[in-house]
Amino acid sequence: MVVACLAYLLMHIAFGGHALGQDQAWLLYAAEKMVHGTQLYGPGLTESNPPLIIWLSVLPLGIAKVFSLSAPTAFYLTVLGVLLGSAGWCYRLLGGVARSLSHGERMLLALCILVAESSLDLGSIGQREHLLVLLVLPYLVAFGIPRRGELSELSKTETVLLAIAAGVGVCIKPQHLLTLLAFQVALALKTQSWRRWRERSNLAFALTCMVYVAYVAAVLMFAPLYVHGEAALLVDTYWAFGNFSILRLMVMDHHFLLFLAAGALLYGLARRRGRATEFAGYVLLCSVAASIAFDLQHTGFAYQHIPQDLLALLAVFWLGSELAVEKFPVLAKVFEFSWTVAAIVVLAVGVAFYVHGKEPPKAQASPSTLADFYALLPAGTPVLGLSTNPQAGFPYVVEDNLIWASRAAHLWMLPAVEQNEWFREGGLQPRKVLPEETVERIAAMQRAQVAEDMTRMRPQYVVVPRCTKAFDCEAINRDGFSILDWLLKDQAFAAAWSQYRYLRVLDAPSDRLVYDAYELR
């Protein structure tokens, strides 16, 4: 199972082409600009995310520079290292649990964790929610399974490391503090550890909360522009990407509901057979808490399902493997021979490096898709996508070594303005009705930023999506809205745009959009 999982992951990295996720690609690009002196949340680089994920994105860039790798390759290898480190740490922690486990049983359970951690499409590998799961799982294993006694008690150093890892994971997606809190409350009620504040789990949770507070302090100290500028702007605008009701979000993640039902069924079966089910129960509870944290965002982006999906899937794997070992004891013995697993993994890594070392084939002439269009451009060509979704430029800009001629990944202020303007013209009422002066101020800011960036960076090519029907373009709720016509109401943008001529139409199968490409005269 582990061989199949790792081979799948590594071969996709090797052969996946434009497989890097759009958000991960933009964060790598933003981190590189920050490293080269551009002020984060300043006039040259704006971002809707808090700064931690951009700070962490500097790590794969450093690895890429040291080992002369491409940024996507270094990114995937970094995430793969975190993934294997997480599963390996969980394997080590399983050595001190109350029920004595053989090497094969520990290996099998660690493989359940590894498979669950990597059971997602390649474009979601390394998403913020994925990193959250990788960093929090050792914490859940360490404190969610009863340990043998004082001799197997966690050391102070390891307790601190577990808390820091979980704290960093939660800081990446702050709303998932709810997930960890649900686990801690359930653990305290089960073990009555709330009466013993010196309990390792209580100290670890307190330290995790301290990491959370320290991160807030770091943002105030090192990224004040986010707190005093970007955060207030997000309150006025980012709600436009989240028009789904909580009830709608609760029923739209079919994978989670399926995993949760299967996990609950196996949990009941395991309890009837007298199996220890504490950890699986905690994981199922955490998946439900993660689902609530997801619902509170209202956005419904597919990658935001990751924590609830992977945690529920882990509970299914965990309970299924324990019941399978009980029925077929020889299964655990198969995993005693870990050297065979290691040999195949090393071989898979070698193949991935070999394939990445070759120059990928370029697209053919006369490109018909957005990916082919970008792939044909020389490295260093400035390009721009006037879209409400970063898919107009990423991951292509990073993978093809182009220059993004904008301070932001996409026009993330536009949907809130468009929805409010349409409402005043007689359209649907948005989830948040803004004062007219606020709408005008944000609209002027969005148009001015685009005009300034185009004038300063002079993109050679610009692509604009056709918003033919409602929701064709991200968070644009009406038919036939023209992003270009909306921007042309600004004189500065109109002056900059007068230098461009229409080039061709491009398809984008990944987001089912049609783009119009323009070229600087």
pLDDT at 360 over 50: no
Q: How confident is the model at residue 25 (pLDDT cuts 50, 70, 90)?
A: very high
Q: Write out the H or E segment, with its range, that includes residue 293.
A: helix 278-295
- 374 backbone dihedrals φ, ψ, rounded to 5°: -65, -40
pLDDT at 350: 58
Half-sphere exposure (CA, 13 Å, Cβ side) for 26?
Answer: 22
- Please check whether residue 25 is in contact with residue 397, taking contact to mean a CB–CB distance below 8 angstroms: yes
Q: For 379-478, where are the E strands, in sequence order?
A: 382-385, 403-404, 461-465
Distance separating alpha carbons of residues 39 and 121, to the nearest angstrom: 33
pLDDT at 97: 77
pLDDT at 60: 95
- Please check whether residue 83 is in contact with residue 252, taking contact to mean a CB–CB distance below 8 angstroms: no
Per-residue pLDDT of 108-146, as tens digits, reads 888 889 888 888 877 888 999 999 999 999 999 999 988
Distinct helix (H) and strand (E) counts, the chain: 24, 5
Q: Hey, what's the torsion of the CAs at 145, 149, 152, 155, to 10 degrees? A: 90
Residue among 513, 473, 514 nearest 387 (CA):
473
Q: How many residues does the chain have?
A: 521
| Tokens read off for 280 | 């699986």
- Please check whether residue 516 is in contact with residue 508, taking contact to mean a CB–CB distance below 8 angstroms: no
pLDDT at 275: 73
Half-sphere exposure (CA, 13 Å, Cβ side) for 258?
Answer: 5
**Arithmetic mean of pLDDT, 167-175:** 94
pLDDT at 366 over 60: no
Using DSSP's 3-state secondary structure scheme, residue 479 falls into coil
Using DSSP's 3-state secondary structure scheme, residue 506 falls into strand
Write the secondary structure of 83-150 as one string of H (helix), E (strand) and C (coil): HHHHHHHHHHHHHHECCCCCHHHHHHHHHHHHHHHCCCCHHHCCCHHHHHHHHHHHHHHHHHCCECCH
Residue among 263, 293, 290 nearest 279 (CA):
263
* Residue 453 burial class via C-beta count within 10 angstroms: exposed 0-12, middle 13-18, buried 19 and up: buried
Find all residues with CB under 8 Å of 497, minimum gap 6, and list them: 454, 484, 487, 488
User: pLDDT exceeding 90 applies to what percent of the chain?
Assistant: 51
Cα–chain center distance at 263: 24
pLDDT at 480 over 80: yes
pLDDT at 284 over 60: yes
pLDDT at 363: 42
Pairing, β 382-385 against β 461-465: parallel
pTM: 0.89
Which residue did the predictor score with more confidence, 98 or 330?
A: 330
Distance separating alpha carbons of residues 22 and 374, to the nearest angstrom: 14
When computed from its CA atoms, the radius of gyration of the chain, rounded to whole angstroms, is 25
**Arithmetic mean of pLDDT, 483-511:** 91
**Arithmetic mean of pLDDT, 158-181:** 94
Q: How confident is the model at residue 310 (pLDDT cuts 50, 70, 90)?
A: very high
Q: At what angle do helices 103-117 and 306-327 cross, to 10 degrees?
A: 150
**Arithmetic mean of pLDDT, 222-251:** 82
Pairing, β 513-520 against β 461-465: antiparallel
Distance separating alpha carbons of residues 56 and 223, to the nearest angstrom: 14
pLDDT at 209: 93
- Please check whether residue 11 is in contact with residue 344, taking contact to mean a CB–CB distance below 8 angstroms: no
Helix intervals (H) in 223-337: 224-225, 231-237, 246-252, 254-272, 278-295, 306-327, 330-334
Per-residue pLDDT of 426-444, as tens digits, reads 988 998 999 999 999 999 9
Q: Around Cβ 251, how many Cβ atoms within 10 Å?
A: 8
pLDDT at 351: 58
Q: Looking up tokens 């150093």, which residue turns up?
A: 157
Q: Which of 219-233, 257-271, 297-311, 452-466 has the lowest mean pLDDT?
A: 297-311
- 484 backbone dihedrals φ, ψ, rounded to 5°: -65, -45
pLDDT at 221: 92
- Please check whether residue 377 is in contact with residue 496, taking contact to mean a CB–CB distance below 8 angstroms: no
- 482 backbone dihedrals φ, ψ, rounded to 5°: -110, 115
